[in-house]
């Protein structure tokens, strides 16, 4: 029998899941539409049935646990709490509900923490005890590992760097506050910055031909690659803001590496190079040269499922 | 025999030390002038001799370890590294040198980390696993405890919140950079802020009669207590900046409490009340009402020696 963990990544639209062995190999994966299950009971039943079906067809696999990545997940309590992008309101005891269907160890955490554990078990942080993963998508998620442990904090919700304040009174954020890190340092933050540069600068730019509603971080990165002056300026400004959060985080936990992951990170060296420069220029002298800024070591397409599964492998390895 | 730990607090001018039992009772204490020992070998010999003398007179006490709090101390390596306020240059292997004189377990960390461990073993954080101590003196030191462990990070120097940036391009800091947290949120930060308010406001103030070089946080706090408008404004501005660092730190590690300690914290409720207000107003909604802002539970006069001793008790309790 080969031991596998079910990794489940719950998103607002889709839920992906797969059976993952100890080395990070996905034996089989599948998905369902989260939005088709407005009742949490139905959702849990559907997932449990789907996992059992996958296992039934593969009698050599033995399920040893279920790891779940989900928005607003509370690791301590095994719950999803007040998630704005999910239909299930209030406090959902997801781990308990799932355990009634499949009685194995079940752990749940948010997407960015799952990404961090995935990085530690399967990715670029295999030998690291202190590192941070920033997921740069529509928002900015963060998973922080200190002394080999994910930081959950007193509430279970620690590691919310995306909503730390970088510009007091700055850009309006979806959380109702202003100047949050993710309003600057994320794929959507880059789009907002490009619009700012279009307003401030006079240079010609291909971005002037794209309706703001259709502007994406990918289009801006492409334009920057072609030396478009507005796109280049937007990229540099974004790198500076991203670096700000990184060098302040370094002062907090002195990590060995910071991994950048997701949409904005796909800009590659065009982003990493200025981020490294601004971090080195501005970090406290005692930390200069001590922190690597790296792309994730996990392929983006599998990252969420692998990260969720790693949550269990991490517990079993202890 | 009663087991005791020698707690040693090395400061730029004085070094205080004492024998501390498991309950935090100081059996005996003493001090010497750090500045009289420009050679580290002489300093270690003097301290070791003094401790042995204290023990010789008290045959019922058994020394089980030595804990040392010192500037720029590296917990991982047992060294003091490049401390600007000490005569000993370069990297000083203090733990090794001390162990050659007195062969017991020896641990060393910086003053703020020692304060945090003191708070956990003897003070207000006895039952807490996640908290932060901010020491608000000339500078701002921070000791961060996550999951019951002090955060040392990859380098051993983690927890340097005093030199995280709160105002890019802001006040000049002793570290050679600008806008560091401690240039605003510390006893000397309050003095600088009072000077700013004197420049910006037209109101009468007793502070206008004090030469800037003689202005202290204590004098400003006294004036604020008497409703001096400049002092009140300076106190409020300082509370807001102090709160900024606190609510961003909450987003990082979600502590149960933040303890404020040292010169500026002596302003009492006049500081704590607005700090609590600004934290609650600005912290991420998910953390509202989850964090206590508290004065230290350790008397200031003994804190450094108790904290240093707690470093060893903490290891022995594990």
Check whether residue A95 and residue A19 sit in a common domain.
yes
Query: Which CATH number covers residue A62?
Result: 3.30.420.40
Residue of A nearest to B285 (CA): A175
CA distances from B215 to A193, A292, B173, B219 (A): 43, 43, 18, 7
**Could A156 and B254 be called an inter-chain contact, meaning their C-beta atoms sit closer than 8 Å?**
yes
- Considering the domain architecture, whether residues A266 and A134 belong to the same structural domain is answered as yes
Quick one: pLDDT at residue A302?
82
If 0-12 CB within 10 Å is exposed, 13-18 middle and 19+ buried, where does residue B244 land? buried
A285–B254 C-beta distance less than 8 A: no
- Read off the DSSP letter of residue B171: S
Q: What pLDDT was estimated at residue B318?
A: 65
Residue A52, token pair as written in the block: 């059992």
- Measure in Å the smallest separation between the Cα of A27 and chain B Cα atoms: 35
Residue-wise pLDDT tens digits, A63-101: 999 999 998 899 999 999 988 788 998 999 999 999 999
B146 contacts on A by Cβ (under 8 Å): 146-147, 149, 151, 153, 158
**Whole-number pLDDT of residue A315:** 86
Q: Which residues of A touch B156 (CB under 8 A)?
A: 254
Find the helix or strand (DSSP H, E) in which B288 lies. Answer: none
Q: H or E stretch including B280?
A: helix B269-282
HSE-CB at A169 with a 13 A cutoff on CA atoms is 1
Q: Which residues pair with B178 in a beta bridge?
A: B172
Residues A113 and A160 both lie in one domain: no
Looking at the structure, tell me whether residues B142 and B239 fall in a common domain.
yes
Nearest chain A alpha carbon to B257: A154
Q: Which residues pair with B73 in a beta bridge?
A: B80
Question: Cα-flanking dihedrals φ and ψ of residue B143, to 5°?
Answer: -120, 125
Same domain, A37 and A110: yes
Give kind and range of the element (H or E) at residue B166.
Answer: none
Instruction: Examine the domain organization and report whether B190 and B218 are in the same domain.
Output: yes
Note whether A192 and A143 are same-domain residues. yes
Q: Mark yes or no for CB contact A252/B253 under 8 Å.
A: yes
**Interface contact flag, A254 B287, Cβ < 8 Å:** no
Instruction: Write the DSSP string, B114-129.
Output: HHHHHHHHHSTTTT-S
3-state secondary structure of B108: strand
Find the closest chain A residue to B286 by CA distance. A157
- CB within 8 Å: A255 and B284: no
- Answer whether A255 sits within 8 Å of B153, measured CB to CB: yes
Give the span between the Cα atoms of A303 and A28, in whole angstroms.
14
pLDDT classification of A318: cutoffs 50, 70, 90? low
**pLDDT computed for residue A271 by the predictor:** 97
Total structural domains in chain B?
A: 2
Reported as a single tens digit per residue, the pLDDT across A244-287 is 999 999 999 999 999 999 889 999 999 999 999 999 999 999 89
Whether B221 and B275 map to the same domain: the answer is yes
Query: HEC string of chain A?
Result: CEEEEEEEEECCCEEEEEEEECCCCEEEEEEEEHHHCCCHHHHHHHHHHHHHHHHHCCCCEEEEEEEEECCCEECCCCEEECCCCCCCCCEECHHHHHHHHCCCCEEEECHHHHHHHHHHHHCCCCCCCCEEEEEECCCEEEEEEECCEECCCCCCCCCCHHHCECCCCCCECCCCCECEHHHCCCHHHHHHHHHHHHHHCCCCCHHHHCCHHHCCHHHHHHHHHCCCHHHHHHHHHHHHHHHHHHHHHHHHHCCCEEEEECHHHHHCHHHHHHHHHHHHHHCCHHHCCCCEEEECCCCHHHHHHHHHHHHHHHHHHC
Q: How far apart are CA B59 and CA B49, in angstroms?
A: 16
Range of the domain at A217: 127-295
B290 contacts A151? CB cut-off 8 A? no
User: Would you give per-residue pLDDT tens digits along chain B (318 residues)?
Assistant: 899 999 999 988 899 999 999 999 999 999 999 999 999 999 999 999 999 999 999 999 999 999 999 988 999 999 999 887 889 989 999 999 999 999 999 999 998 999 999 999 999 999 999 999 999 988 999 999 999 999 999 999 999 999 999 999 999 998 899 999 999 999 999 999 999 999 999 999 999 999 999 999 999 999 999 999 999 999 999 999 999 999 999 999 999 999 999 889 999 999 999 999 999 999 999 899 999 999 999 987 788 899 999 999 998 876
Of A153, A285, A286, the CB nearest to B254: A153
Q: Are residues B177 and B281 in the same domain?
A: yes
Region for residue A245 given its phi and psi (left: phi exceeds 0; alpha: psi -120 to 50; beta: otherwise) = alpha
Same structural domain for residues A157 and A211?
yes
Q: Are residues B194 and B86 in the same domain?
A: no
B102 and B131 housed in the same domain: no
The minimal CB distance from B154 to the residues A158, A165, A254 is found for A254
Contact check, Cβ <8 Å, A252/B255: no
ipTM for the whole complex: 0.91
Residue identified by tokens 């803001």 is A241
Please list every residue in chain B whose beta carbon sits closer than 8 Å to the beta carbon of residue A287: 155, 157, 160
DSSP state of B142: E
Strands A257-261 and A292-295 turn out to be: parallel
């Amino acid at each position: 029998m080969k031991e596998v963990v079910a990794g489940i990544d719950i998103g607002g639209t889709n839920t992906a899941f797969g059976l993952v062995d100890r080395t990070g190999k996905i034996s089989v994966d599948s998905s369902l539409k989260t939005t088709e299950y407005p009742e949490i009971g139905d959702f849990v039943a559907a997932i449990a049935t789907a996992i059992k079906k996958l296992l039934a067809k593969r009698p050599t696999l033995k399920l040893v646990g279920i790891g779940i990545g989900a928005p607003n997940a509370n690791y301590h309590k095994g719950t999803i709490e007040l998630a704005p992008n999910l239909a299930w309101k209030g406090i959902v005891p997801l781990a308990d509900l799932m355990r009634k269907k499949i009685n194995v160890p079940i752990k749940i955490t948010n997407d960015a923490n799952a990404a961090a554990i995935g990085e530690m078990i399967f990715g670029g942080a295999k030998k690291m005890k202190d590192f941070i993963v920033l997921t740069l998508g529509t928002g900015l998620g963060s998973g922080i590992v200190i002394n080999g442990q994910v930081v959950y904090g007193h509430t279970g919700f620690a590691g919310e760097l995306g909503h730390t304040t970088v510009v007091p009174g700055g850009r309006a954020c979806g959380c109702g506050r202003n100047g949050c890190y993710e309003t600057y340092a994320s794929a959507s933050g880059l789009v907002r910055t490009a619009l700012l540069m279009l307003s401030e600068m006079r240079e010609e730019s291909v971005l002037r031909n794209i309706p703001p509603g259709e502007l994406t971080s990918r289009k801006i990165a492409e334009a920057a690659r072609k030396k478009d002056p507005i796109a280049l300026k937007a990229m540099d400004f974004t790198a500076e803001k991203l670096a700000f959060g990184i060098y302040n985080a370094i002062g907090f936990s002195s990590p060995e590496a910071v991994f950048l992951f997701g949409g904005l990170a796909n800009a590659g060296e065009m982003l990493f190079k200025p981020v490294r420069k601004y971090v080195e220029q501005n970090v406290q002298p005692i930390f200069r040269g001590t922190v690597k800024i790296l792309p994730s070591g996990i392929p983006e397409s599998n990252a969420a499922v692998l990260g969720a599964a790693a949550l269990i492998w991490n517990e079993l390895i202890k």
